[in-house]
């Protein structure tokens, strides 16, 4: 079954309201095995809504419209659907009584305009709304299903789950189209999207079921695998087989699955290895510390962070020598290394991380461009500093800096860095 979700409302087009309804509907349909082919947003305009709805009738089996079911003149969804389908609107007396009870309960008069909400296209089924006065409508026209839902999410979500999903399940069962969709997300770090795709190109070229979709997601890349089968067990088997095939190629570039973040993965490694860490940050402004403290239980391994943005702070808090700052500058491998050592000493940890760089948009020199960053790591068995050239806005650079720091730390914890690696200033352009 192919579906299109149509969200009606000028406020959605203008960005004043976030279209969370489409996300919630699509999530429920995915679990049901229904493929959502299109998401469309259209304003409260009769001609444009009519055009969108006609296009939808030509390309999908299931159309779900949200919004435009209120009592005012700009609530046009039911009228347009009825007009296009050439179905007369009929008043549902049951809902008229429910609305009268609703207004009596709140001691408010019910105006004639509210009666519009009791109008249902002939042959349609009214879906009662326990949280408002706008009911939904379920309608079958030939082989197609059209569902109209109120716009407020607190009204739409329970109506869809409790009243629409059971009807769709019954319909899919009749059509012998009740399959199961299962999905997994692999999280990849240390490789850009193009480099990752190149590595797994033979797997992508031969994909069938499960399907594989690469997606650049901020400073990392995700791989979504989706399997469709008649049984959940069979779908799970197909996913596990393909996941193993991809893992054999990408190896340690895969750091987690599902909702696991890189900071979660690194915190788990730190706890498993009984290691503690502290951070000294300049250009990242405490973002690395924030990411660590976002993880429940991270206090067992992350003991503290220092945001040493000025040279004075680097010197006074971390013990970075003023002569060093004056000769090589704050943005340098030497200072990053001194910051890592200072953080480790200050917080008495096993590992220290030092970060210094130029987040921009100002601060660059002919020798040091915006995005230039040095990340140092110090531990008993490993001392290193690496040079990176990042790009993007100030906030994007800060995110990429902390991603690189977490990735470097992960490699160290996995034993993938050489002992006593002192490649100060090693060039690392992160894709």
Please enumerate in sequence order all residues whose Cβ is within 8 A of that of 92, keeping only pairs 6 or more positions apart, or say none.
118, 119, 120, 126, 135
Final residue belonging to a domain, choices 174, 197, 232? 174
Examine the domain organization and report whether 277 and 223 are in the same domain. Answer: no
The residue among 424 and 197 whose pLDDT is bigger is: 197
pLDDT(420) > 60: no
CATH number assigned to the domain comprising residue 354? 3.90.950.20
Interval 92-116 mean pLDDT: 90
Tell me the β-bridge partners of 306: 280
> How much is the pLDDT for 425?
35
Number of domains in the chain: 3
Res. 26 pLDDT band, cuts 50 70 90: very high
- 165 and 202 share one domain: no
31 lies in which domain range? 2-174
Is residue 133 located within the same domain as residue 85?
yes
- Given 174, 202, 227, the domain boundary residue is 174
In 320-393, alpha helices (H): 322-328, 333-347
Residue 427 has pLDDT above 70, yes or no: no
CA distance 96 to 377: 70
Pair (273, 195) in one structural domain:
no
3-state SS record for 57-92: HCCCCEEEEECCCCCCCCCCHHHHHHHHHCCCEEEC
In angstroms, rounded to a whole number, what is the distance separating the alpha carbons of residues 85 and 68?
17
Q: How confident is the model over 256-305, as pLDDT tens digits?
A: 999 999 999 999 999 999 999 999 999 999 999 999 999 999 999 999 99
Domain shared by 207 and 328, yes or no: no
Q: Which of 147, 174, 201 is the last residue of a domain?
A: 174
Top pLDDT among 30 and 75 is at 75
* 266 and 243 assigned to the same domain: no
pLDDT digit string, tens, across residues 149-196: 999 999 999 999 999 999 998 888 776 665 677 889 999 999 989 999
Supply the CATH number for residue 165's domain: 3.40.980.10
Residue 133 or residue 307, greater confidence: 307
HSE (side-chain half, CA atoms, 13 Å) at 127: 24
Q: Are residues 89 and 165 in the same domain?
A: yes
What does the pLDDT look like over 105-118, one tens digit per residue? 888 888 889 999 99
Mean pLDDT computed over every residue of the chain:
92
Q: Give the pLDDT band (50/70/90) at residue 426.
A: very low
Sheet of 125-127: strand order equals: 35-42, 2-8, 62-66, 144-149, 136-141, 125-127
- Is 18 found in the same domain as 154? yes
- In the structure, what pLDDT confidence band is assigned to residue 429 with cuts at 50, 70 and 90? very low
């Amino acid at each position: 079954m192919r579906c299109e979700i149509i969200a009606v409302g000028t406020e959605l087009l203008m960005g004043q309201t976030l279209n969370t309804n489409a996300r919630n509907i699509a999530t429920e349909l995915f679990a049901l095995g229904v493929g959502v082919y299109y998401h469309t947003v259209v304003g409260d305009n009769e001609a444009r809504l009519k055009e969108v709805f006609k296009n939808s009738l030509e390309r999908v089996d299931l159309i779900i419209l949200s919004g435009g079911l209120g009592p005012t003149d700009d609530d046009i969804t039911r009228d347009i659907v009825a007009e296009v389908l050439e179905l007369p609107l009929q008043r549902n007396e049951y809902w008229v009584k429910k609305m009268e009870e609703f207004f009596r309960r709140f001691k408010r008069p019910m105006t004639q305009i509210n009666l519009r909400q009791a109008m249902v296209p002939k042959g349609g089924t009214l879906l009662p709304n326990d949280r408002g006065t706008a009911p939904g409508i379920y309608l079958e026209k030939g082989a197609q299903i059209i569902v109209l839902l109120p716009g407020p999410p607190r009204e739409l979500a329970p109506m869809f789950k409790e009243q629409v999903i059971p009807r769709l399940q019954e319909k899919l069962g009749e059509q012998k189209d009740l399959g199961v969709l299962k999905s997994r997300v692999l999280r990849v770090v240390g490789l850009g999207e193009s480099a990752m795709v190149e590595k797994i190109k033979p797997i992508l070229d031969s994909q069938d079921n499960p399907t594989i979709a690469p997606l650049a997601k901020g400073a990392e890349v995700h791989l979504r695998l989706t399997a469709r089968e008649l049984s959940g067990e069979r779908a799970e088997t197909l996913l596990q087989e393909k996941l193993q095939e991809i893992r054999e190629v990408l190896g340690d570039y895969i750091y987690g699955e599902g909702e696991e973040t890189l900071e979660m993965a690194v915190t788990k490694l730190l706890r498993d290895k009984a290691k503690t860490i502290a951070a000294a940050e300049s250009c990242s402004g405490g973002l690395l510390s924030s990411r660590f403290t976002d993880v429940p239980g991270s206090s067992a391994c992350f003991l503290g962070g220092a945001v040493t943005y000025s040279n004075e702070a680097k010197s006074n808090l971390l013990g970075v020598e003023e002569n060093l700052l004056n000769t090589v500058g704050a943005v340098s491998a030497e200072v990053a290394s001194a910051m890592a050592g200072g953080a480790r000493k200050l917080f008495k940890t096993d590992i220290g991380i030092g970060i210094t760089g130029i987040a921009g948009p100002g601060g660059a020199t002919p020798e040091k461009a915006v995005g230039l960053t040095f990340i140092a790591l110090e531990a008993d068995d490993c001392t290193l500093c690496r040079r990176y050239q990042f790009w993007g806005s100030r906030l994007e650079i800060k995110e990429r800096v902390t991603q690189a720091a977490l990735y470097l730390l992960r490699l160290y914890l996995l034993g993938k860095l050489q002992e006593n690696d002192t490649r100060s200033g090693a060039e690392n352009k992160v894709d």
